[in-house]
Each structure stands twice: as C-alpha cells, then as structure tokens.
Structure 1
C-alpha cells in the first residue's frame, strides 16, 4: 500500500550521512507504526486484507482494485477472501512459473470510477503488477478495462456483470468470471413466470449493471409472454425505498422485481416486507447474494432468484474442501463472491502456467477455451472461458430464498442447476467483436 511504499523508500538513505540516517530512521519507525496500525485496523474488518507475504525481487504481482468500503464493501471483502485462499494454494503448489506470488490490494470504493481508474493506474504503472483484478461495480469494471487494455495487462473481472464487459466493449486482455446479466435473466425468467406471473415491475439501480439486467429480463420476459407494467431507477446507496414501493404497489404487478444489490437490496426488501407487499405480490428478481440474505430478517428471505454459485452442493467434488478452507480462514461459509475471487486469482496462474509466459497476449491466447480444473470450478458441469469472448461459462443456480435450511447459513434452496451454455446465447449475440494486437 502507499504507506508500505513510503516505508521502503525511507530506508534508502546514504550510508555516509549519519545524521540523515538517524532522521530517516526516526521517520521510518513512525511510518512502520502507521503501517502496523493500519494493518491492525483492517484485521478487525476482514481476514488479513492488506497483509502481503514477504516480498521477493522476482515475485509475480496480482493487483486487486475492488470495493472495501461503501455499498458493496461486504461482497468486495468476500471476493478478497477468495483471492487470498487461491494465493495460498498457488504458492503452495510452486507459485506462477516457479516464482512466488503476492497480492496487492486497493480500495476502489463502491461507486467512484475516478478512484477505481486512479488505483488501477497506480497498480500497473507504479507497482508493476502482472495482473489486474476488479471490479464488483460494472461501471468501474468497464472504466478499469480501458486502462488495462491501454497498458496491455491481463485483467480478470471477478464480479462486474454488465454485458458490455465481454460484449460490445470486449477486449482481448479482459476476462470475466461472473455471469453476464443476460445469462442471469435467461436462467431465472422461466421459474419467475411459472411461480409468480407475467406482469413485472422493476426496481433497478441506476448504473450499468442495473440497466443491462433490467433490459435482459425484459427481453427474456417478453419472449415468455410477460410484460413490464412499470419501472424505477434508484441511485446507488438509496436508503429509503418507500416512494418506489408505493409506485410499484399502484401498478398492481404479479412480481416486483428487485435488481438492487448490496446494502441497497437489504434496504429495499426489508422495507417491502415492512409495508406488507410480500402478502400481495411476489417479491423476487434476477441476481441474489448470500451477503444480502444474511443481512435480512428471516421474514424477508423470500422470493425466486438466481445464485451464481452456492456453497451447499452435496456430492460435487472439492466443494466441501473449499467450504472448509474458507470457514477456517473467515469463520463463515463462502459466498458466490468468495468463489469469484478464488477463480479470478487461479485464472492468473492458469493463464501464465498454460502459456509458460507472463506476456499478456500469450496468456490471453492460452485462456481461449480453457476449462477450469474441477478443484477450481467447483460445480457439477465445470466451467470454461468461451473463446472469442473471454466470458466464463459456468452453471447457474436457480431457486428461492429461505429463512432457514440445513444450517444457519443455508439461506437459499436450489431447485434447478442451469447449464451456462444454455443461458449464454451465442457468441454473435454477445456483440463482442474482439481484435488482437498485431
């Protein structure tokens, strides 16, 4: 981090200047204290987020530019936990190309594209990372992709869903682990139509992710004979959803479709149940996350949704071991976000070791069509990066939220596992027209 870099610089004093050396030592000790205090404070919030393994001159560097504060802090921290576990496993298996790997972490914040871009440039230009990871926020992921493409750095997006990342704005160097919004829409729409009805009202976050998820659901719903009876765009960080809920109620839909995420999802669903809307309408949506369900009271854990990965998968090889490793590390079960961070970090190692190189073009070529090993994919049908689009094609988990399951943190009942290739559409439909460097 910045303080660490300053501390390193402070130790580079001239040996023939004793007075300067004493002064520099004092400054360095003060800086060391700052680093230790900062690290201690961060440990209270999330398991070892900024603790980096001992630096080696030839270490391979992975830079994570993701939210650790704001609306998406919880999901960002869980992606970080997945990255850390993958890093430990990669180093235990000999690192990348026989070199140790370290993780450098920057807080992008939850919604400031300028900050995310600044941190991406810092990681690439000053810290000289070999790989860039991020972002949870789709708009920030798109902005970061412009930087990584300009600099020619392999970039893996763990959790920014808007279609354009691997669609109309695709780049040869940018790969994505989470689903596209159209994949989620295609996976969940049949269950929503069947279980709830055809008249939908949307409550949508006003940025790239929300726009494309609503568009995808409208498209899938219309194809199944459904209609939109209304919609509202809500600012990121909204705390009072009452005006939107009153409008939704007046439209008399079959389904109120919640597309908000993070703290916004918690606030919206909690208030909807407080207003008694769950007694009159089906409250549901596209993407749902364990982080949000954990933050809700039991009576608000309702509705039909799609999960991108779920921890309770009896009989699927390696899942139990992954769950145990994360619980040992964090004290809680992994979420889909934990899995996304884990897969993203392993993708860096698979790319480099597959290409036998750290040259970005060679690594990107090695990932074309690559199938993840079972111990990384952690799902029934595996997962692969679709060539020509750089989009991971995994399973999707459709089902309904539940107040209590087989364990206190079993808050989602999977009723159908949808094959990613069935939800993804064709490469041509994605809109990606990828160009490669000469």
Structure 2
C-alpha cells in the first residue's frame, strides 16, 4: 500500500507540474515581441514593454504563488528575426505567452509556432485580419485593432460626410495590403469609387512621387494606409504639396498620438482616424497614460500600448482562474467570459479569437483646440464592437466553421 501511495503521489506531482506548460523555472513568463528601434517604436516598443510591466505590477507580480517574469525583444520588423526569437523563447526560455508583435508579417508567422508549443499569442499592434480569418488559431487572441474594424468605422463616417472618390497611398506589406483591401470593400459597398493606389516600401523618407500621383487622381478622399514614422512623414510632406484637410478628406485607418506629435497639429488638424482609446476620456485612461508617459520619455499612449496593458491583465486573470498556463485552456477560458477591459472598453473574445470592443472615430484637433500637451484627439463617434469588427458569418476561420 505504501508503494502504491508513493506511485500515486509521484503521478499527482507530475500531473500538477504538467499544468504549467513548458515550465521549468517555477515562474509565469511573459514576452513582449515588438519594434524597439524602427518605424513603429514610438507606437509600441518601449511603451509596450512598460505597459506590460504596469499590468504585472497591477496584478501583484504573482499568479497562484508563482512570480511573473517579463522578457522582451526587438524583431527589427523582420519576420525571420522575430520568429527566431519566438521559437527560442518557447523552446529554450519557457515563455508562456507573447504580446504586442507590432508587425503583421511577424504575427502571421508566429501563429503556427505558438500553436505547435501550445502557448498563447496576443497581438495588439497588428492590423492583419487573417489572424482571425484563415490563419486563426486556438492559441491566438487578436486584442486591440484590426484593419476591418478601423476601415469599417472610418468609411461609414467619411461617406456620410460626402467623401465619394478615394485614392490610396499604401505601405507595401501585409499590414498595408490588409488596410487597402478592407477600406476598398467598404467604399464600394457604400457606393463610392476607388480611383487607384500607389505602394511605397516600409520606412520611406520621400513620399513626393506617391503624393503627386494621389493629388492628380481627382480623388476627394486620400487614404494614407501606413503607420508610424512612414505615416508621419507622409502627412508632413502632404502639407507641402497642398494636400490639406480643407481641400481633401485625409484618412488614416491606423493613426496614433505619436504620429500627430511627430507631424504636429498644424499638419494633421482635421485629419480623420479610427482608434480604441482616447487617453483624455476619463480618470482611468488619464491615470494609465500619465503613468506610462513617466516611464516612456513623456510619450503618451493610445490603444496599441493600452491594449498590451489590458491584455496582459486579462491573461494573468485567466491563468489564475484556470490554474494553468496551458495555451488552449487559457484561450478557451477567455472566450467563455465577458472581458472587462479598463482602457479599450468591455467586450468579448469570439470563437475566431477577435476581442471585440468599441471603436472610436477621431478628428485631430486644431492647435487652438488642444488644451494640454498630447491633447490631440476629439472623439466624434463611437461604433459598438459588435458593429465595427467583421461579423462571424463572414469569417473564414476554421474554428468558427467547426462550431456551427
């Protein structure tokens, strides 16, 4: 009997240990894979790392008695670099969940690796809708924004204001392609016309030829389908060519405070954008933004870094409830309960992995309207999450088809 008890005890120990996927260190380990030095570094980068640290501190630094450890790395906006880091994190460093990503190509490549190791990936600074479409996974939650939600909300608003003829200046990789594809679909469905597009490489310094083509197209709406420093440069140079909000409706589906700050209110005033967090909204968003700005060279955050904070909090809460870092179990739990997101707004994680939440329409303030540093956005409309993001009945996600 003593021998049997000893065997059962060993089995119980092994089963308990196995609940913590890949763990050899006794910690819950979180990774932030992001752009620390490139065009998206002010939108994500160090701010996303600090946002994750703030979430861990808010949670108390432990989950079920296990310390929470944070690692981070710069993927340099190169898929091979990012995926090499990710595989090492899973295989060698026992990282349980990875956040942010800040690059669609890296995030899309990460799906199968994350699934292979049964970990969790939660893209925040990524717009590619394939993450909840054909590339969806039981180990992925797409938390903050995607090009469908932002494009849908923006097109509705701009078409209502009379914008009928559209032209695109698009960054030439998966993120930009997804933006252009989704905006085009909504414009045509609403009776508008797409006159054409030009595509520029990532990290472009000279937009003159692209902007001149847009200006000569006859469009009354010019879509700047890029982000980060590229978007900032495009906006500043557009003003030099007379492409301003009093002559055109200038639309940026992925637009952030850091871009406005870099380009200046004189160049960006009147521009229309979509997003999921205006830091001046209430005491909670203000407190988060003020604290993160102290940690991040004074740069105030919006939804991308806010989404890292709230998704890390949600992940830790799920691990605590499940009693495990098993990737699929944690994701299944988050799909089974309402999400109380303190920054983006409450929502749900759907079968396809999309976390729905309200999407706001912003108009950039004029210099006179801005009352304090980084007070750049005026919210002019809010679209409920259930109306903003791609309906499940349009999804190509195999998980959705399997649940029908």
Q: TM-score, normalised by structure 1?
A: 0.81
Aligned partner of 1:105 among 63, 72, 96: 72
Question: Which segments of 5 or more consecutive residues in structure 2 lack a partner in the other structure?
Answer: 1-23
Corresponding residue number in structure 2 for 1:382? 346
Corresponding residue number in structure 1 for 2:116? 150
Q: CA–CA distance in 1 between the matches of 2:163 and 2:85?
A: 45
Corresponding residue number in structure 2 for 1:173? 139
Corresponding residue number in structure 1 for 2:17? none
Q: CA–CA distance in 2 between the matches of 1:334 and 1:288?
A: 12
Shift, 1:333, TM fit: 3.0
Q: CA–CA distance in 2 between the matches of 1:293 and 1:432?
A: 35
Alignment of 1:183-222 (within 5 A): 183-222=149-188
1:136 aligns with 2:99: no
Corresponding residue number in structure 2 for 1:393? 356
Say if 2:43 and 2:301, in contact at 8 Å, map to a contact too. no
Worse-superposed segment, 280-289 or 149-158: 280-289
Corresponding residue number in structure 1 for 2:58? 89
Corresponding residue number in structure 2 for 1:418? 383
**What value does the CA root-mean-square deviation take over the aligned residues?**
1.9
Q: CA–CA distance in 1 between the matches of 2:324 and 2:360?
A: 35
Say if 1:159 and 1:176, in contact at 8 Å, map to a contact too. no
Q: Deviations over 1:61-85 (max 9, x none)?
A: 1122211011112122222221121
Q: CA–CA distance in 2 between the matches of 1:334 and 1:180?
A: 18
Q: CA–CA distance in 1 between the matches of 2:108 and 2:309?
A: 21
Q: CA–CA distance in 2 between the matches of 1:324 and 1:277?
A: 34
Corresponding residue number in structure 2 for 1:276? 242
Say if 1:91 and 1:100, in contact at 8 Å, map to a contact too. no
Q: CA–CA distance in 2 between the matches of 1:356 and 1:310?
A: 34
Aligned partner of 2:48 among 76, 79, 83: 79
Q: CA–CA distance in 2 between the matches of 1:334 and 1:238?
A: 24
Aligned partner of 1:67 among 18, 35, 56: 35
Report which structure shows greater RCO (CA 8 Å, sep ≥6).
Answer: 2
Worse-superposed segment, 265-274 or 403-412: 403-412
Q: CA–CA distance in 2 between the matches of 1:220 and 1:212?
A: 13
Question: Which segments of 5 or more consecutive residues in structure 1 lack a partner in the other structure?
Answer: 1-55
Corresponding residue number in structure 2 for 1:304? 272
Shift, 1:334, TM fit: 2.6
- Distance 1:425-1:176 versus aligned 2 partners, 3 A rule: closer
Corresponding residue number in structure 1 for 2:337? 370
Corresponding residue number in structure 1 for 2:19? none
- Distance 1:109-1:196 versus aligned 2 partners, 3 A rule: farther
Shift, 1:332, TM fit: 4.2
Say if 1:399 and 1:412, in contact at 8 Å, map to a contact too. yes
Say if 1:72 and 1:262, in contact at 8 Å, map to a contact too. yes
Say if 1:255 and 1:283, in contact at 8 Å, map to a contact too. yes
Say if 2:32 and 2:48, in contact at 8 Å, map to a contact too. no
Shift, 1:196, TM fit: 4.9
Q: CA–CA distance in 1 between the matches of 2:80 and 2:299?
A: 33
Corresponding residue number in structure 2 for 1:42? none
Q: TM-score, normalised by structure 2?
A: 0.87
Matched positions, count? 372
Q: CA–CA distance in 2 between the matches of 1:299 and 1:318?
A: 29
Say if 2:265 and 2:376, in contact at 8 Å, map to a contact too. no
